[in-house]
Amino acid sequence: MALTENPAPSSPSSPASATPPAPTTTSPVAVADPRIGGLADRLRATYRSGLTRPLNWRRRQLQQMRRMLVDHEDEFLDALATDLGKPRTEGYLTDIAFVLSEIDEMAKHLEKWNRPEKVSSPMVTQPAKSWLQPEPLGVVLVIAPWNYPVQLLLVPAAGAIAAGNAVVLKPSEVSAATSAVLARLIPQYLDDAAVVCIEGAVPETTALLAQRWDHIFYTGNGTVGRVVARAAAEHLTPVTLELGGKSPAIVDASANVRVAARRIAWGKWLNAGQTCVAPDYVLVHRSVRDALLEHLQAAVRDFYGDDPQRSDSYGRIVSDRHLDRLRSLLSGGTVLFGGESDDTERYLAPTVLVDVDGDSPLMAEEIFGPLLPVLTVESVQDAIDFVDQRDHPLALYVFAEDRVVVDDVLAHTTAGGVTVNGTIVHLTNPELPFGGVGESGMGSYHGRDTVRVFQHLKPVLARSTRVDPSIAYPPYTDRKSKLLRRFV
């Protein structure tokens, strides 16, 4: 199974997306890095040695990962600014603080989350005790995207370590500066006998996917997600696919329109729109459409000033290729405001489009940039129908003060996750698993679920030998059959 660069991503992803290679029928490209050949087998030998099993080892690795982020915060923020023009505050909140919070949660509950969990035993097994015993899967591969290149590599990696696995980390080559920092620092802080970071592009990823892993965790777009799934199928390897999709924001007539506009604006233009759970388009009730558009424009002015290009709070597009792709989408509607771009800075202004062509690429593919189409609907039912006629999104946002409307949207739409009267923030609660459904992905993580992804809950039933009732054995007399029917 090989990968190749695709000139334009069809559906970038979670909170992220990788540069989308696409499936080909060519043979994998030879890889010069001698560390890649047989890497999974070498780490499997480490895993079988028992190195990663003790909780003390896992705790130490989590502590070291945390220390790496704290010690080198400025280096990471500089790299994020180089790759994506990320404002330092935004980079810290989304790529540093988020990871620190997840690490702290795992460290706090490490013993509890790895403790056997007692369950009941049916009468027919008595006397017996039953439990679920968490055990690591073995050797796992984490492939990360470019848009949140620290968060989306290290959070799954931390979960894999907390679960007791050996792990290979593959950062995105598109965010090259951040990838270089990660590749240099990870072996300095983490145990390189069990935790390995591999830089590279399509050839390296292809070579990694050709090996047998015990789990593959991929964040990116659906095109590459299918390549990963096919490669994993060769070894019957389970996968977690954190993909993307067109996440809608529904604004009802009962909504607090000013607050809705500000929260949509924040979620949309965070990281210059390069977020897999960013509002991809808005469905607004006709009665509040004009007010919403006015408040969206006011929010952009409040957040980024009269000229967002000069704002130190607004990011940049990751590459010239992605900038060209986004500019090509502008023809799918009428620009209400924004639309300006600058090749030298890979800048594209926060943009709202109206009079949108429903059949245009703007509405056919995940935008993954700072363009926001606003479509008018006559009722909440129209909005629900519009969403239901498309692939299930990774996230859905509903703005309404009428609880009946909220309940109606929740009951009649399917999405990976939902925020009511807000955007994106459902991801920040470690008690809520994050993941997609259908085209937007499979599997979920965050908090305890990040550890569970990389574990097998081994069912164990232990019977006592003090009592050995004969009813359980042949010959099956009528009396035995009657008694067994009562207990089975």
Question: Do 246 and 393 contact (CB within 8 A), yes or no?
Answer: yes
The catalytic residue among 90, 242, 365, 439 is 242
User: Hey, CA dihedral for 202, 21, 82, 217, is it positive or negative?
Assistant: negative
Nearest CA to 430 out of 450, 454, 455 is that of 450
Relative to beta strand 128-136, strand 117-119 is antiparallel
Residues paired with residue 143 on neighbouring β-strands, in sequence order: 170, 218
Nearest CA to 14 out of 281, 256, 220 is that of 220
197: annotated active-site residue: no
Nearest CA to 299 out of 282, 286, 316, 285 is that of 282
What span, in angstroms and rounded, lies between the C-alpha atoms of 195 and 123? Answer: 45
The catalytic residue among 90, 102, 204, 276 is 276
Q: Record the tokens describing residue 104, joined without a space.
A: 């702290």
Spell out the residues 6+ positions from residue 375 whose beta carbon is closer than 8 angstroms to its own: 281, 282, 283, 284, 356, 358, 386
Nearest CA to 95 out of 179, 153, 39 is that of 153
> Half-sphere exposure of 203 toward its Cβ, with a 13 Å CA cutoff?
9
User: Hey, CA dihedral for 34, 39, 41, 42, is it positive or negative?
Assistant: positive
Q: Which residues carry out catalysis?
A: 242, 276
